[in-house]
Amino acid sequence: VPPERNRNFSIIAHVDHGKSTLCDRLLQSCGVIPENAREQFLDGLEVERERGITVKAQTCSMLVRSEKDGLQYLLNLIDTPGHVDFSYEVSRSLHACQGAVLLCDAVQGIQAQTVSTFHQAFEADLEVLCALSKVDLDYAQKEEVKRQMSVLTGVSTDEVLEVSGKTGQGVPSLLEAIIHKVPPPRGKAQAPFKALLFDAYYDSRRGMVLLIAIEDGELRKGSKIHCSYSGRVHVAMDIGLLYPDLCSVDNLRSGQIGFIVVGAKDIRSFRVGETVWQEGGEKSGEPFPGFKPAHPMVYAGIFPEAVSDGEKLETAMQRLLLTDASVEARRDISPVLGSGYRCGFLGLLHLDVFRQRLSREYGVDVLATSPTVPYHLLLANGTQVVVEHAGDFPTPPAMPPKEVEEPLVTATIVLPRELTPGIQQLCIERRGEELSVEPLDNAGERILMKWRLPLAEVITDFFDKLQALSHGFASFDYQPAGYQPVDLVKVGVRLNNEHVDALSFFALRAKAPEVSRKYLEKLEKVIPAQLFDIGIQAVVGGKVVAKVRIKPIRKDVVAQKILSHGHSGDPSRKAKLLERQKEGKKRLREIAKVQVPPEAFVAMVKM
Ligand code: GDP
Ligand code: MG
């Protein structure tokens, strides 16, 4: 297929609007995957299958013959995640494309990520095709949703396509639209080879796999490539297309999306967004500007559950950080939790998925400490620092900071009009400031509100509250929007009079006593009773603001327990019990002679 017949496009939409299902139909219609393939075929990660969401953008090539002109085209499709926590995946993918298919559920209508992903595609200068999805559903409101899409994107209502990933309706017309409306890549076939590295991962069998969008020229298998970030030269041991499995070819050409396997061991020397040249090409050409670094929203410590897993965690982190460039990480050593990392994530779901991937894909169970937003501190000596861990907050005898600023976000909320007052109330409770309220359609039934909110109020349970208040009919998305002063304190925690930095956290001064009380009640539940009294105190600026006491377990009860286990008739049950106890022991951390389970550190998340 000549370069002018390549089409590179992404599918973008709000969560659950049918992207992955439509990809299945597109791939089946060209015979890339069998008719009876599992659903959401491209969602290959265990976490994706378990949660039913796309976390990682996936690429697949397909050959399509156009009915209109009878010619064959090479289409490269990138399926993207919809959730705001994975928006960096979307923006990265869009750089490899010239077009995007914006899907919108024909029953639900426009939602917050329909708006935000459209703006991303628009800013990336892509040709945006609009399509209603799930048009097979009885309650589909086709005309109404077409009008909404027209207001959002400026395309006329009769240009909005209708598709169903369930029945396959509209798939042939969508393919024709992609072929005839999305422009071919603009690269020069005769120029020296130049490609954008837009994703990478480590495969235990093949080694480093680089996913690239080729701008100019051609690459042959076995050639030497120059990677702009490290400046190193590697041999392209294998090259090919993604179907969606790696499928080797002899050469890759301008306009294609493909992969290169390099024999490099040092994973850290690659960066998504860098430029890959044929060796020598770097001397005369201009590299790509590189991706904007991700903007972490929440920080948490990541430590191995079993202290002995430190090395395993290091290998796993290197590999996972390569495929998820939106995570910021640096080494951290905690006296209590051992050697681990302090990481920045795009949201709590992102943090949770990251933690789960470490466990499922790399076999390392980790605990994550209380997530915190990054605060700006103006110190007494005039310097400004960013603090993203309560342990780093100056406490007596150090001088308190002169000023503390917290991060803000601009939230985009899309909702039915009648829910507006309830949601406004919620935003006000969360210290929000209303910026605008506009209708999304001519009838004014669907509203788009913008609010400025403190990030700390958004990352906890804001989304859950929004869902509950709106019965799932409101959606939201947010973007960083500067900083504002905040009256913040550090709450220290003492176990049997010993200060435990790993348990300390931030709170608004006015709310510190209440939050502390709740937190201690949580600790009271998760810390097992011992043979002695355990006193736990929450301290702000040297003053105790809350305390609990865990009463000792009586000696005879312990004896009784041992006795009853000893007499348990079933030996395999007993073995299992002992195994579980051992497992449990491994996870406990001894702090001030108190056995603290990992749950104590994450307790803050759920409050
Ligand atoms: P994504 O989050 O945008 O990738 O959405 P998915 O493809 O994972 O689909 C979300 C849900 O909608 C799944 O339960 C699908 O079975 C369902 N779904 C997707 N497309 C259609 C469709 O065309 N018709 C119907 N009735 N359901 C669909
Ligand atoms: Mg999906």
Token pair listed for 535: 């006193």
Name the residue at shortest CA distance from atom 16 of ligand 1. Answer: 21
Residue whose CB lies within 8 A of the most ligand 1 atoms, among 10, 16, 105, 135, for a mutation test? 16
Distance CA 290, CA 271 (A): 9
Cα torsion 208, 213, 215, 218 to 10°: value is 50
Tell me which residue has tokens 């960013």.
Answer: 386
For residue 6, the CA-to-ligand 1 centroid distance in Å is: 28
Assess whether pLDDT exceeds 50 at residue 130.
yes
Contact 8, 213 (CB under 8 A): yes
Least confident of 340-354, 382-396, 490-504, 586-600: 586-600
Tens digit of pLDDT for each residue in 270-315? 888 889 999 888 888 888 888 887 888 899 999 998 878 888 999 9
For residue 339, the CA-to-ligand 2 centroid distance in Å is: 35
Which candidate, 136, 45, 135, places its Cα nearest to that of 145? 135
Q: Can you give the pLDDT at residue 537?
A: 93
Tens digit of pLDDT for each residue in 75-90? 999 988 888 888 888 8
451 pLDDT band, cuts 50/70/90, is very high
93 lines ligand 1 (CB under 6 A): no
Better pLDDT: 337 or 138 = 138
pLDDT mean over 50-71: 87
83 lines ligand 1 (CB under 6 A): no
Say which amino acid occupies 8: N
Q: Can you give the pLDDT at residue 25?
A: 93
Assess whether pLDDT exceeds 80 at residue 575.
no
Contact 73, 94 (CB under 8 A): no
Residue 507, Cα to own-chain centre: how many angstroms?
25
Distance CA 366, CA 601 (A): 11
Q: Can you give the pLDDT at residue 566?
A: 47
Looking from the CA of residue 164, the nearest atom of ligand 1 is 23
Q: Can you give the pLDDT at residue 556?
A: 61
133 lines ligand 1 (CB under 6 A): yes
Q: Can you give the pLDDT at residue 193?
A: 94
Looking from the CA of residue 165, the nearest atom of ligand 1 is 23
Token pair listed for 213: 């969008």
116 lines ligand 1 (CB under 6 A): no
Distance CA 201, CA 218 (A): 23
Assess whether pLDDT exceeds 90 at residue 467.
no
For residue 405, the CA-to-ligand 1 centroid distance in Å is: 42
Name the residue at shortest CA distance from atom 20 of ligand 1. Answer: 18
Assess whether pLDDT exceeds 70 at residue 564.
no
Token pair listed for 14: 């709000």
Assess whether pLDDT exceeds 80 at residue 397.
no
16 assigned to a ligand binding site: yes
Q: DSSP states of 360-392 as a string?
A: HHH---EEEPPPB--EEEE-TTS-EEEE-SGGG
109 pLDDT band, cuts 50/70/90, is very high
Contact 393, 370 (CB under 8 A): no
Contact 323, 199 (CB under 8 A): yes
Tell me which residue has tokens 């056995």.
Answer: 595
Assess whether pLDDT exceeds 70 at residue 38.
yes
406 lines ligand 1 (CB under 6 A): no
For residue 482, the CA-to-ligand 1 centroid distance in Å is: 36
Please give the C-alpha separations between residue 508 and each of 139, 212, 432, 502, 514, in angstroms, as whole numbers: 46, 46, 15, 19, 10
Q: Can you give the pLDDT at residue 580?
A: 58
275 lines ligand 1 (CB under 6 A): no
Assess whether pLDDT exceeds 90 at residue 542.
no
Assess whether pLDDT exceeds 50 at residue 607.
no
Report, in angstroms and rounded to the nearest whole number, the Rg of the chain calculated over CA atoms.
27
Burial degree of 107 (CB within 10 A; 0-12, 13-18, 19+): middle
Element (H, E) at 133: strand 127-133
Cα dihedral across residues 588, 593, 599, 601: positive or negative: negative
606 pLDDT band, cuts 50/70/90, is very low
15 assigned to a ligand binding site: yes
83 assigned to a ligand binding site: yes
Assess whether pLDDT exceeds 80 at residue 588.
no
ipTM: 0.99
Q: Is the peptide bond before 244 cis (omega within 30 degrees of 0)?
A: yes
For residue 164, the CA-to-ligand 1 centroid distance in Å is: 9
Assess whether pLDDT exceeds 50 at residue 551.
yes
* Torsions phi, psi for 208 (to 5 deg): -75, 125
pTM of the model: 0.83
Token pair listed for 452: 């400025």
